[in-house]
Amino acid sequence: MKIEEQYLARVLERIRGAIGGAEEAVRERVQTLDEQKRYLWENRDIDPQEVRSVREGILNIHATGESAIARRARLGRMLDNPYFGRIDFRESSGGSSVGSGEAVPIYIGIHTFHDFDSRESLVHDWRAPVASMYYDYELGAAAYVSPAGEVVGEISRKRQYRIRGGRMEFMLESSVTVHDDVLQRELSANADDRMRNIVATIQREQNRIIRDVEASVLIIQGVAGSGKTSIALHRVAWLLYAQKETLTSRDILIISPNKVFADYISNVLPELGEEAVPEMGMAELLSEVLGGRLKYQSFFEQVAELLGKPIPGFAERISFKSTLDFAASLDRFVLHLENDCFCATDVKMRHITIPREYIGEQFRRFHRMAIRKRFEPMAGFIADELDIRYGIVATTAERNFLKREIRGMFAGGAGDLQLYKAFFEWLGRPEMFRLRRGHTLEHSDLAPLAWLRIALGGVKPRAGVRHLLIDEMQDYTPVQYRVIQRLFPCRKTLLGDAGQSVNPHGSSTAETIGQVFAGSKVMKLCKSYRSTFEITEFAQHIRPNDELEPVARHGEKPRILQFPTPETEIAAIEKLIADFRLSDYKSLGIVCKAESQAAELHEKLGDADISLLTSRSSAFARGVVVTSAHMAKGLEFDEVIVPQATDDNYRSEIDRGMLYVAATRAMHRLTLTHAGQVTRFTYS
């Protein structure tokens, strides 16, 4: 232990020295910037070429200054916790699988720290190839892939540390990836107001996902509490490290379920030393494809209606539009439009009649282009042919006339919405399309309409996106994924859990998504780390999952509390809130089935220190939070209360899903309250 403390002291001393150097570099650049700006101000009559040169120099100094500031911040964080693990690796020689040289200690932390005086790396970045052995191997034979090829050898020692505030709290010898004691201590910690990095406790199966390089489309099916979102973000951080020459955070886009969730996860990448990446919602993306001109029902509004009193046929319409067969029907309709809906006619220009057969031939000539994209090149080609064959040089007005005539030959030339309605008539299912009051689209129509627009008019891939991350993948339909496929022809990571769908009428499984993306790879995360064994077992009664493996972290059994009236239930919830505030827990989620119920309960509680999270919220809140199960997806709380857990409130399949999501948000304590008959889903 004394040797380890000496090494820690040495590392911290060198880090402090590096911080001093970084601060000096920042001061020098600030001073140089001031001097350059003063020079420009005092010499306003200098040559314009020199002005440009000085300004370019200022920009370069600014950029290097920002780099120095970022390095100083990174080093400052390392003072608190410079590393968390160590392996002693002996590289083999002569083809032997067992190391034969001297074992080299390799310390692993969030960031690399290289001591330029001794010319050695005192700490290795967890993403470095050599660090992969810490996660993948026990003591004995081990290997990693370096830029020069595979390196084999032997791990003779593995240690894990807990360092906080630059002080070593404990050290453990370990023969496995992450010692149970360390994992249990991390899992037993209280929830923060943001998702945390998990580099010190990454498990072997998680590490395989993070470092996967083969899959162009990686689909992560993870059970509730398996850490799939965190793993996906660590994968992004690893990609940014492994491909630092060609990939930046600006090249990555996250499709996130809502703004609150985006805020909740926003801390992970900066903690790992990377810039936050852009994010947007699926509906926002689809609306952009449609030009932003149409009103539509949001996904939250769709789910809210399903949880309440949906209009006749609503659930059936959602289910109808959420299958691979429906996506294939859209393709067949586009083919029908191409084969049967372009009715060529003769066109007269000056003394020449252009035969309809010739125009039809040109329509087929440009078959590689989307239908609506053909008209202009067709008109241009025909006009050029008139010049070549007959010496008729078409004027701009004549070319535009020809283009209008050709466009009018396409019977699908009506607006997108009219054509979409015609699609259902062509299917013989006109009842499957219903426009709401105020010409508002149902949410399930947004993606099919966008796909039809893309198929007929073509689309340019979204520029600048080289890796796409999609969370809550189960909540999107095959047609939505078809749109994604056209907009983003880049590598992708998708993650979610079919068991946590908030809309059983319109959800997708990993297998369904895999059929949309050819060559995709499905990887599963089956261990649940978030909740205690008792909470996980309780949730399994709500929605059984044979693949789920709970981690054996024990705690209180979930409580189901019955009250004679709704008023006494409210009073009991107020008492539970008071007890929470006296506890060591940091977060309490009061998770209702629907957003309207959450708003009503929040008003009745009447406590200014209790936050209400709705679909209109943009940031996660600390302390006591009242929200809906839909909004709570992806979040976690030390303690969860599920009010109104009656059989009247939770009785349908979508209700079951909401109850499962609510229960699995709890890390340490779960309480269900009800006034009336308890829901049927709390027992099997």
Of 98-102, 158-162, 270-274, 636-640, which gets the smallest average pLDDT?
Answer: 98-102
> What tokens does 633 get?
């997806």
The dihedral formed by the CA atoms of 160, 164, 168 and 173, expressed in degrees to the nearest 10 = -10
Q: What is the mean pLDDT of the chain?
A: 90
Amino acid found at 376: E
Helix/strand number for the chain, H first, E second: 24, 25
> DSSP string covering 280-305, please?
E-HHHHHHHHTTT-SEE--HHHHHHH
For residue range 164-205, list pLDDT tens digits in order. Answer: 999 998 888 876 545 455 666 666 677 776 788 888 889 899
Task: Report the share of the chain in percent with pLDDT over 70.
Answer: 91
Name residues whose C-beta falls within 8 Å of residue 397's C-beta, 6 or more positions apart in sequence. Answer: none
Predicted confidence (pLDDT) at residue 659 exceeds the cutoff of 70: yes
> What tokens does 394 get?
């078409």
For residue range 448-497, list pLDDT tens digits in order. Answer: 999 999 999 888 888 899 999 999 999 999 999 999 999 999 999 999 99
Amino acid found at 161: Y
For residue range 591-631, list pLDDT tens digits in order. Answer: 999 999 999 999 999 999 999 999 999 999 889 999 999 99
Name residues whose C-beta falls within 8 Å of residue 120's C-beta, 6 or more positions apart in sequence. Answer: 114
Bridge partner list, 646: 678
- How far apart (Å, rounded) are the C-alpha atoms in residues 580 and 560? 17
Q: What are phi and psi of 591, to 5 degrees?
A: -110, 110
> What tokens does 452 get?
């039809």
Residue-level pLDDT at 642? 98
Question: In angstroms, how far is the first alpha carbon of the chain from the final one?
Answer: 52
Predicted confidence (pLDDT) at residue 20 exceeds the cutoff of 90: no
Q: What are phi and psi of 350, to 5 degrees?
A: 55, -125
Name residues whose C-beta falls within 8 Å of residue 152's C-beta, 6 or more positions apart in sequence. Answer: 91, 92, 97, 141, 142, 143
Of 92-96, 203-207, 387-391, which gets the smallest average pLDDT?
Answer: 92-96
DSSP SS3 for 568: helix
The sign one gets for the Cα dihedral 244, 245, 246, 249 is positive
> What tokens does 423 get?
């699609």
> What tokens does 80 get?
């608190």
Residue-level pLDDT at 50? 63
User: Is 49 or 565 the better-scoring residue by pLDDT?
Assistant: 565
Q: Calculate mean pLDDT across residues 527-540.
A: 95
- How far apart (Å, rounded) are the C-alpha atoms in residues 244 and 322? 38
Q: How confident is the model at residue 684 (pLDDT cuts 50, 70, 90)?
A: very low
Element (H, E) at 524: strand 521-525
634: left (phi over 0), alpha (psi -120 to 50) or beta: left
User: Is 442 or 115 the better-scoring residue by pLDDT?
Assistant: 442
Question: What sections of 341-462 are H helices per DSSP?
Answer: 356-365, 371-390, 396-408, 416-427, 443-457
DSSP SS3 for 639: strand
Q: Calculate mean pLDDT across residues 304-321.
A: 95
Nearest C-alpha neighbor of 470 from the set 505, 517, 506: 517
Give the C-alpha distances (Å, rounded to integers) separating 489 from 251, 451, 460, 469, 510.
Answer: 13, 15, 10, 13, 19
Amino acid found at 394: A
Tokens 């790396």 label which residue? 121
Bridge partner list, 221: 496, 524
DSSP SS3 for 641: strand
Total Cβ atoms within 10 A of residue 395? 10
Task: Report the share of the chain in percent with pLDDT over 90.
Answer: 72
Q: Where are the beta strands (DSSP E) in 166-240?
A: 167-173, 217-222
Q: Does pTM top 0.85 for this prediction? A: yes
Give the C-alpha distances (Å, rounded to integers) separating 387 from 102, 187, 355, 378, 392.
Answer: 82, 77, 16, 14, 5
Give the C-alpha distances (Å, rounded to integers) separating 211 from 85, 144, 196, 466, 626.
Answer: 19, 12, 19, 17, 37
